[in-house]
A and B are shown apart, each in its own frame.
Chain A
Amino acid sequence: MKLFLFILINLININIYHYQNNDQLYVKIIPLFDNNPIQLSKANKDSISIETLKFYLTDFCLIKSGEVVWKEVNSYHLIDISKPTSLDIFFTNEVKVDFDEIQFLLGTDSLTNVSGAIGGDLDPTKGMYWAWNSGYINFKLEGKQNSKPFQFHIGGYASPYPTVQKIRLKTKKNLNIAFNVADFLNQLNLVNQNKIMSPGKEAQELSEILSSLFYINEKE
């Protein structure tokens, strides 16, 4: 019996060891409010508190001298700051390539939006699907400023207002990708613009702003 336990524990150990030790490539997403990590439902500067921050990052690929050298298959990741594990994106297979850029989409492409029910991070139970105007919510940000609520549900795949945005960042190794929510809110006037719940021109404009805010975090 002891021998069996011994084997079992060793098996588990080997697994954990294996998981941590191989130089598996992973992306770390760092959502910030100004220069600080976001604390949910706590007032930050300007009496702004964030209650929900969820968005899709999809279609990850690595680029060397302008050419795609690696692409993740089935690349769909729902980032949800209430679930810290979702901030670390592990690629399932080992990646051993030289690269000088990383590319991904903020949001989901149009094919994904017309493909019916999908599982995993795209499952409609994730709260990122519009029931009354089919399609994914690509980016969801909810919170309060001075106890006045704001709600940004940004999505829409159909022309002329698709909201999926391609992001391409220069980096040779560091895959810590930061994103500053304050930079987004500062570009809006929350008094007048505090709610969007459907696709359209405004959603597209906001998605453009959002995509410009991702950067490689040099600090870590």
Chain B
Amino acid sequence: MKRNNVIIILGLFSFFGLAMNLTFKPTPIKIEYPSSWPKPVYNFDNNPLTQEGIDLGRKLFYDPILSIDGSISCSNCHLSYTAFTHVDHPLSHGVNDSIGIRNSPALMNLAWHNSFMWDGAVNHLDVQALAPISHPAEMDEDINNIIRKLIGHSTYRESFYKAFQDSTITGEHLLKAISQFELTLISCNSKYDSVMLKTQVFSMQEERGYELFKKDCSSCHAEPFFTNNQFENNGLPINPILLDLGRYNITKKKTDSLKFKVPTLRNIEFSYPYMHDGRFKSISEVLNHYTNNIKVSNTLSNKLKSEIKLTSNQKVDLTAFLLTLTDKKFLFNKDFSFPLDKYYPDVEKKKKTD
């Protein structure tokens, strides 16, 4: 009898041992982008994309569980239909209706960024989410507390296990999952992109606008990302209330005063209001700034030292070109929007059977 028991128990042990070894294998995913683009800056070896990781990141991105009072998710300030920015709000709104000091930037092609935030305060996509999570005017939450809430949640442990083969939820995996979703936000299907691939052509007006753009703008808003990822002073007068010195806040170098990261212009049609403090509501206000209102200061970019001159017709042409950067496939991509099926699987299942 005794011996039988031992055998059974040993058998069970080896069975569980085997079961543990045959862990769930996630589905690897490769991001797709035009062959003419450079290699991403993001090191995917340290965080290989998987469908399970991306799904988890997307769910987290839309989940107010990340904020202290459960009222705000990343998507409150970064809406998929507006290139992941916050329309109509020059400055971002957080928990308790507190107002931040900056305009939320559009999120796309983040795998090619080498710094984040208007002043480059964040040096890697993975650690970016720590900033909004802990900012009192944004989500005002502590990462350890978020992890406690996620552990108590009915589905997150399983999702973390599927994504990382580890049901212990760690800060590392939480951040890497959010990155995985963000890394899939690639905008490369605008009319401009089709023209570059020679599958479409610009109108005459767009073509004229493109020439003006290359002459006056692309030194900073460099193709194909429409940013050179540098910090520049583009001649905006300092905001008298916010007194934001931009890059200087991070480096404490006088030569960095009033410099901000050059933002992408992809999907610019949808990402208003514009500039770090959202001071301009329309593209025409932006163009008027560049032609009439450049404020000369010690750190003004050399690229703007000679005046930009545009007739009103040329402004119309330039605007027509900027509108070719709109990527409807990106803006209305179902894989990026609120994951209804992840929150209400039953409703979705019912819909399908109905």
Query: Measuring CB to CB, which residues of chain A are less than 8 angstroms from any residue of chain B?
Result: 1-4, 113-119, 123-127, 129, 131-135, 200
Contacts and interface: CB of A to CB of B under 8 A. Distances in A.
24 contacts: A1-B2, A1-B6, A4-B10, A113-B123, A115-B43, A115-B124, A116-B124, A116-B125, A116-B126, A116-B175, A116-B179, A117-B47, A119-B170, A123-B170, A124-B143, A126-B171, A131-B127, A131-B131, A131-B135, A132-B121, A132-B135, A133-B121, A133-B250, A134-B121
B220 interface: no
Contacts of A127: 144
Interface of B: 2-3, 5-6, 9-10, 43, 46-47, 121-127, 130-131, 133-135, 143-144, 147, 170-173, 175-176, 179, 250, 252
Contacts of A125: 143-144, 147, 170-171
B127 A124 contact: yes
Contact of B176 (A2, A3, A117): A117
A11 to B, nearest CB: 11
- Listed from nearest, the 6 A-B pairs whose CB atoms lie closest are A116-B126, A117-B126, A125-B171, A119-B172, A131-B130, A117-B175
B225 to A, nearest CB: 20
Contacts of A132: 121, 131, 134-135
A156 to B, nearest CB: 11
B127 A129 contact: yes
Contacts of B143: 124-125
A35 to B, nearest CB: 35
A3 to B, nearest CB: 6
A114 B172 contact: no
Contacts of A3: 2-3, 6
Contacts of A200: 252
A64 B144 CA distance: 42
Instruction: With a 10 A CB-CB cut-off, give which of A117, A124, A200 has the most chain B CB atoms.
Output: A117
Given A134-B123, A134-B127, 10 more contacts: A115-B124, A116-B125, A117-B175, A124-B171, A125-B144, A132-B131, A132-B135, A133-B121, A133-B250, A134-B121
A159 B70 CA distance: 40
A200 B251 CA distance: 9
Nearest to B176: A117
A23 B111 CA distance: 47
Contacts of B147: 125
Contacts, number: 78
Contacts of A135: 123
A114 B46 CA distance: 12
B200 to A, nearest CB: 37
A159 B250 CA distance: 12
Contact of A134 (B9, B122, B144, B170): B122
B76 to A, nearest CB: 18
Contact of A124 (B135, B175, B252): B175
Contacts of B2: 1-3
Contacts of A123: 170-172
B121 A116 contact: no
A90 to B, nearest CB: 21
Nearest to B124: A116
A1 B5 contact: yes
A4 B5 contact: yes
A126 to B, nearest CB: 8
A123 B176 CA distance: 11
A217 to B, nearest CB: 33
A2 B1 CA distance: 12
Contact of B172 (A1, A124, A134): A124
A139 to B, nearest CB: 19
A2 B127 CA distance: 52
Nearest to A201: B252
A145 B162 CA distance: 49
Contacts of A1: 2, 5-6
Contact of A129 (B6, B121, B130, B173): B130
Instruction: With a 10 A CB-CB cut-off, give which of B122, B170, B172 has the most chain A CB atoms.
Output: B172
Contacts of A4: 5-6, 9-10
Contacts of B123: 113-114, 134-135
Contacts of B134: 131-132
Given A4-B5, A125-B170, A129-B127, A115 B46 contact: yes
B130 A116 contact: no
B91 to A, nearest CB: 17
A4 B179 CA distance: 47
Contacts of A117: 47, 124, 126-127, 171-172, 175-176, 179
A131 B143 CA distance: 11
Contacts of A115: 43, 46, 124
A134 to B, nearest CB: 4
A200 B179 CA distance: 29
Contacts of A134: 121-124, 127
Nearest to A157: B123
B148 to A, nearest CB: 10
A114 B10 CA distance: 47
